[in-house]
Amino acid sequence: MSKTWLITGTSSGLGRELTEQLLQRGDTVLATVRNVDALNDLAAQYAERLHVLALDLTDTRAIRHTVASAFAQAVRIDVVVSNAAYGLLGAGEALSDAQIERQIATNLTGSIQLIRAVLPHLRQQGGGRIVQISSEGGQIAYPAFSLYHATKWGIEGFIEAVAQEVAAFGIDFVIAEPGPTATRFGNNLDQAEPIAAYAGTPADVVANMISARQFPIKGDAQRTVAAIIAATDAAKPALRLPLGSSAYDNITRELAKRLAALQALRDVAYSADADASA
């Protein structure tokens, strides 16, 4: 049975690939972009099943209006994909206030407000599924990506709580966590002005690797999207979906380190309890 999807950030990268694969298999897509001309080629080919909507995720009022229009147009939307995001590269100290505000407004606040906007519609129609495109960076962290990680860790925490709040309404979530994947992500990075004192530090090393295109990338965009679609089609998918060997290996390693560090502090943690006899 064909489905109807609402997807943000469809002009390039995983959002574009997801839109293409869904249209090819016969689904209907309501695709949001900042520039509606970005999907002209697909609109010409799939005029009856692709509906392009203009949206800037930093505009909360526009999010609510666009979501309401999408549900009015489609009547029922089976899957909402929160995908629109970008990377911000540079040591945390080097980032400008404007860069920080824009990163949070797009990746975190925009994703939160999109989810908040769709929930009443999904409740009214009796359920639905929300897919959040996160990253391995929602559970691990690289130097030079501090604000990007802040937004990804933040949206994953938000969803952890909201998923529990709305499960009774037949609404569930999938958090997709791709590792480094061959998309245009690197081309769309915002970059901080380097600070000389950081030369040769981990943040500088990573930034230089990204700029020189030397950062290892194992993920394939088509296969990543195919895995997301397959998970979304499943009756009861896992909440978190690691994608790519890099994501699986990196997340596994970091979770093991965190668990070991936590367990080493058990006695310290328990010592902070009130005396049971008091």
Does residue 152 carry a catalytic annotation? yes
Q: Residues 46, 111, 152, 198: which is the catalytic one?
A: 152
The pair of structure tokens assigned to 277 is 């006899």
- Distance in angstroms (rounded) separating the CA atoms of residues 227 and 141: 23
Q: Residues 11, 82, 111, 134: which is the catalytic one?
A: 134
- Distance in angstroms (rounded) separating the CA atoms of residues 241 and 129: 14
Nearest to 211 by CA among 189, 196, 195: 189
Q: Residues 82, 148, 198, 246: which is the catalytic one?
A: 148
Contacts of 156 (CB under 8 A, 6+ apart): 132, 134, 138, 139, 175, 240
Does residue 236 carry a catalytic annotation? no
Does residue 198 carry a catalytic annotation? no
* 183 Ramachandran zone, left/alpha/beta (phi>0; psi -120 to 50): beta
Question: How would you class 52 by CB atoms within 10 Å of its CB: exposed for 0-12, middle for 13-18, buried for 19 or more?
Answer: buried
Nearest to 7 by CA among 124, 178, 130: 130
Q: In one letter, which amino acid is 52?
A: V
Report CA-CA distances (Å) from 276 to 265, 268, 270, 272, 273.
20, 16, 12, 12, 8
Where in the sequence numbering do the catalytic residues fall? 134, 148, 152
